[in-house]
């Protein structure tokens, strides 16, 4: 070992010792912060499925590859980081001797070949990612970027570190080639040999380059260890457990979609019959009241902005960005952590739990952070502004797009729950809707005895549960389908088609009440459970004696469909729920309904969030429309899992949209740009919002918004007048 090797070895050992010590300290701090969260025992179930899902999502990059080039580039960088870590380890042998290498595998030609390929592809990948980041920098001309609000220096730092580590990997090999100490043939390592051809015959070059590579790598570790909120770096470690502990590992997409997480207290679903606000947690009022998985979510955020780029609120000028919300919660959690770790915190009555002696040594900044309200305006020093909280439509675009399975919607609704149930703080116009749900059983406040008025004028009898016992499907009409004029047309169309196909169905009539979706999404879990328990009891009675496979419900509203099928199981209601487009597609496919006259004028389809993204039903409505128009749909640019929200979800249907551009107008403009004369929908909320948007644009004579069922009915029975109008081909 020469003098150069002695110096490089000492440098490598010293910088590594500092980096490892800081990294251990950082990991212990992160674990301590995450453990401050509330219990979530359900996250440890079905470990085999969790492990399999984690491996598929990470190794297969299933979420990232939806983004094409950027996903492929990120995969190569990820694989490079994992596999080429062996070359960083090898550098510790190379600083000590010019012909050093990894024991055992370091001389295998296959090792040289694989690391060469990965090194080249990693270089290409990181250069692509750097170009994408620069092209989408927040300061660029042309509007908002998905990186707006991200800590850009951290992204640039990580990318340059990766680039330099990869470059110096080839420099080390190049010096080995130049000094004739390289063990791999040209055919396996052509790039390394090409680099070696231009480097001098400097024996100490290997050790110097290896030391520089180690210093670069350890500088990265030191910097991220001093910045525990540096998600752009830490996600490469935290993504694995965050995906493993996702809420529903068996779901094909975002596990925070579909059903909401139940309202929890001390790791158990809250029982309102026994709940006590002084001892039970009602929603989230403090950051430590999130579950530990929530705190892990916040720590894992990569700041990539994919959630932000797809968010309807952000894209229409609202203050909500799912990314910035998560980052605000993350920064608040870590800034407040010293206070919490010193036994500080408020109990559920608002009393301080720590003694003055326990808090005496704390930094004033940690104490100031502890005094911040979780929800509050800038003047109040709040972490999350109320306008941010109430802008969310719960469309799930953020959850579906997140590559590390952060469950944004659950966290937003948890914060809403506390605001509604304890603070009684929510947009005033939503109060009418909640009172109507409590007093009338529907958000419009319509008399219960008018729930069956939609059946008037039909040329067949609509049977009621109790009057007939041999029905195959219980037709869940829903509040919109029973009371809202446009939705009633859909209800009649579905009933007519089911009757035409010979499907035996029955309705609950006045026995039906609101599914509770608007109450639950706005945060009023109490009203939701009141309505849901009533419905579960009614439905269980209607299906008494039937096994689950024969407890079939068809619903026209995706919000009812989602609530009955995904959430009533939490309250003892197990049913097989289908959306009407699924049933209609089946009836057409089996020949029980036959389209006879193709409709014309061009048709585009708007995917309802709670049918598409939340429940992955994309094909059925398109199959129905394809049969009805005897051709191809005209798709909007944003469709299927990336469909743009209509603006009505999350109880936004009953809240004024006062900030930025109206979401429904944005969507209508996209639909109109296709040139289609008809916008088909599969949701009564979407129908209302898009109709309002079309009328607001003054395009009511040029564009028609109708349900998929109505489109099919016009094709199956073209001679039948549609709701009082003469039948005519759509667009004709």
- pLDDT, tens digit, for every residue of 638-693? 999 999 999 999 999 999 999 999 999 999 999 999 999 999 999 999 999 999 99
Q: Residue 655: its pLDDT value, please? A: 93
Beta bridge partners of 38: 291
What is the reported pLDDT for 732?
34
Q: Is the pLDDT of residue 282 over 60?
A: yes
* Beta carbons of 181 and 206 less than 8 angstroms apart: yes
Q: Are 321 and 314 in contact (CB under 8 A)?
A: yes
Segment 584-592 mean pLDDT: 96
CB 19 within 8 A of CB 27: no
Q: What is the pLDDT of residue 271?
A: 86
Nearest to 608 by CA among 693, 552, 690, 492: 690
- The rounded distance, in Å, linking the Cα atoms of 581 and 555 is 9
Give strand pairing partners of 678.
603, 704
Going by pLDDT thresholds of 50, 70 and 90, the confidence category of residue 277 is confident
pLDDT at 721: 59
Domain ranges of the chain: 3-138+147-244, 259-422, 430-716
User: Distance between CA 244 and CA 237 in Å, rounded?
Assistant: 12
| β-pair type (268-269, 264-265) | antiparallel
Supply the pLDDT for residue 731. Answer: 38
- Please tell me the predicted confidence (pLDDT) of residue 630: 80
**726 confidence band (pLDDT: 50, 70, 90):** very low
Note the pLDDT of residue 725: 39
pLDDT of residue 720: 67
Say what the pLDDT of residue 348 is: 82
713 contacts: CB under 8 Å, gap ≥ 6: 493, 496, 497, 720, 722
pLDDT over 60 at 727, yes or no: no
On whether the CB atoms of residues 61 and 78 are closer than 8 A, the answer is yes
Q: What is the mean predicted confidence (pLDDT) over 554-565?
A: 97
- Mean pLDDT along residues 205-214: 94
Distance CA 473, CA 493 (A): 16
Q: Could you give the C-alpha distances from 363 to 96, 288, 332, 354, 382, in angstroms and in order?
A: 45, 19, 15, 15, 20
Least confident of 80-84, 91-95, 345-349, 517-521: 345-349
65 vs 72: CA distance, rounded Å: 6
- Residue 598 pLDDT class (50, 70, 90 cuts): confident
Distance CA 51, CA 36 (A): 25
Torsional sign, CA 483, 484, 485, 487: negative
Among candidates 587, 611, 573, which has minimal Cα distance to 472? Answer: 587
């Amino acid at each position: 070992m020469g003098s150069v090797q002695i110096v490089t070895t000492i440098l490598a050992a010293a910088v590594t010792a500092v980096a490892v010590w800081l990294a251990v300290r950082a990991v212990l701090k992160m674990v301590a912060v995450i453990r401050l969260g509330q219990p979530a025992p359900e996250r440890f179930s079905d470990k085999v499925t969790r492990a399999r899902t984690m491996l598929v999502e990470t190794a297969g990059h299933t979420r990232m590859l939806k983004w094409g080039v950027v996903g492929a580039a990120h995969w190569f960088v990820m694989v490079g980081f994992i596999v080429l870590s062996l070359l960083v380890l090898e550098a510790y042998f190379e600083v000590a001797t010019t012909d050093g290498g990894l024991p055992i595998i370091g001389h295998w030609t296959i090792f040289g070949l694989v690391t060469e390929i990965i090194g080249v592809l990693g270089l290409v990948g990181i250069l692509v990612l750097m170009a994408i980041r620069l092209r989408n920098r927040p300061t660029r001309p042309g509007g908002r970027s998905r990186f707006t609000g991200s800590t850009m220096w951290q992204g640039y730092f990580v990318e340059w570190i990766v680039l330099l580590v990869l470059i110096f990997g080839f420099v080390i090999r190049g010096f080995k080639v130049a000094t004739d100490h390289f063990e791999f043939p040209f055919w396996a390592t052509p790039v390394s040999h090409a680099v070696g051809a231009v480097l001098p015959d400097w024996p100490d070059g290997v050790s110097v380059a290896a030391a520089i590579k180690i210093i670069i790598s350890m500088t990265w570790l030191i910097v991220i260890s001093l910045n525990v909120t540096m998600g752009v770096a830490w996600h490469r470690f935290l993504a694995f457990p965050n995906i493993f502990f996702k809420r529903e590992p068996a779901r094909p997409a975002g596990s925070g979609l579909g059903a909401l997480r139940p309202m929890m207290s001390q790791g158990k679903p809250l029982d309102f019959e026994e709940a006590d606000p002084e001892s039970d947690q009602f929603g989230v009022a403090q950051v430590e009241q999130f579950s530990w998985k929530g705190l892990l979510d916040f720590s894992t955020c990569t700041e990539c902005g994919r959630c932000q780029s797809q968010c309807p609120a952000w894209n229409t000028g609202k203050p909500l960005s799912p990314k910035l919300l998560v980052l605000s919660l993350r920064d608040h959690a870590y800034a407040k952590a010293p206070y919490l770790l010193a036994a500080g915190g408020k109990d559920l009555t608002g009393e301080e739990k720590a003694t003055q002696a326990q808090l005496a040594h704390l930094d004033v900044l940690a104490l100031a952070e502890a005094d911040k309200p979780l929800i509050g305006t800038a003047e109040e020093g709040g972490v999350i502004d109320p306008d941010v909280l109430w802008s969310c439509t719960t469309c799930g675009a953020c959850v579906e797009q997140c590559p590390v399975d952060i469950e944004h919607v659950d966290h937003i609704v948890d914060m809403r729950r506390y605001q509604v149930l304890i603070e009684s703080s929510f947009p005033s116009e939503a109060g009418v809707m909640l009172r109507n749900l409590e007093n009338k059983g529907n958000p419009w406040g319509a008399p219960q005895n008018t729930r069956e008025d939609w059946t008037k004028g039909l040329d067949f009898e609509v049977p009621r549960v109790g009057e007939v016992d041999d029905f195959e499907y219980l037709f869940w009409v829903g509040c919109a389908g029973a009371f809202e004029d446009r939705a009633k047309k859909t209800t009649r169309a579905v009933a007519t088609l089911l009757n035409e196909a010979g499907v035996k169905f029955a309705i609950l009539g006045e026995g039906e009440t609101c599914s509770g979706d608007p109450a639950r999404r706005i945060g009023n879990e109490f009203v939701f459970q009141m309505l849901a328990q009533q419905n579960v009891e009614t439905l269980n009675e209607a299906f008494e004696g039937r096994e689950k496979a024969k407890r079939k419900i068809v619903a026209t509203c995706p919000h009812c469909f989602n609530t009955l099928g995904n959430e009533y199981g939490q309250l003892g209601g197990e049913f097989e729920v289908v959306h009407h487009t699924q049933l209609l597609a089946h009836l057409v496919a089996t020949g029980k309904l036959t389209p006879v006259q193709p409709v014309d004028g061009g048709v585009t389809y708007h995917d309802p969030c709670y049918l598409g993204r939340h429940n992955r039903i994309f094909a059925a409505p398109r199959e129905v429309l394809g049969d009805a128009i005897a051709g191809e749909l005209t798709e909007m640019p944003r469709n299927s899992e990336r469909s743009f929200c209509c603006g009505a979800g999350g109880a936004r249907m009953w809240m004024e949209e006062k900030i930025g551009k109206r979401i429904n107008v944005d969507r209508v403009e996209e639909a109109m740009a296709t040139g289609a004369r008809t916008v088909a929908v599969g949701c009564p909320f979407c129908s209302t919002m898009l109709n309002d948007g079309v009328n607001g644009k003054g395009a009511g004579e040029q564009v028609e918004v109708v349900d998929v069922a109505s489109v099919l009915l016009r094709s199956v029975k073209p001679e039948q007048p549609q709701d009082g109008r003469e039948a005519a081909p759509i667009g004709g």
